[in-house]
Amino acid sequence: MTEVTIEFIYQGNTIKIQGKSNELIKDIIKKYTIKISKDINDIFFMCNGNKINAELKLEEVNNKDNIIKILVYDINDKTIENKEVKQNKDIICPECGNICIIGINDYKIMLDKCINNHS
C-alpha cells in the first residue's frame, strides 16, 4: 500500500488529494467534490483518455506512478460531449482529420500532404 498523489485538473486549476493505492476512486472523488463544493452529478472524470470507473481502486487505474492526473469536466461541456479522448500516434490534419506529414522549416511547423492536400 503506497501513498499516491492525485491531481484533479478542473478549469485550469489543480487540486491535489492524497490517497492510498488500495483506496477506491469513488472515495477520493468524494473528498475532491467536498473540497471544491461541487455536486458529483454535475462533473465527470477522465484519466489516460478514458472516463474513470469510480468502483476501481487507484492501483487498477495506474499502478506505476506516484502521481495520477485526473481531468475534470462539466457534464454539460459541449466541447467534450462525453466522448472518450484517445491518444493518436499519427499526425492528424486539423482541417479534415486525415493522416498528414509534419515538417519543420525555419522553426515553423508545417502540416501538409494529407489526402485532401491541405496545408
pLDDT of 28: 93
pLDDT digits 0-9 by tens, 2-34:
888 999 999 888 999 998 888 999 999 999 999
Range of the domain at 102: 88-119
For residues 59 and 84, what is the distance between their CA atoms, to the nearest angstrom?
21
Note whether 93 and 64 are same-domain residues: no
For residues 66 and 39, state if they share a domain: yes
Residue 83, pLDDT score: 52
Using CA atoms, how far residue 119 sits from 32, 87, 116, in Å, is 44, 22, 9
53, 106: one domain:
no
Q: Are residues 109 and 69 in the same domain?
A: no
56 neighbors 24 (Cβ within 8 angstroms): yes
- Residue 60 and residue 110 in one domain: no
**What three-state secondary structure class fits 45?**
strand
**What domain count does the chain have?**
2
Query: Are residue 63 and residue 109 in the same domain, yes or no?
Result: no
* pLDDT tens digits, one per residue of 73-117: 888 765 555 455 566 677 877 777 778 888 888 888 888 888 888
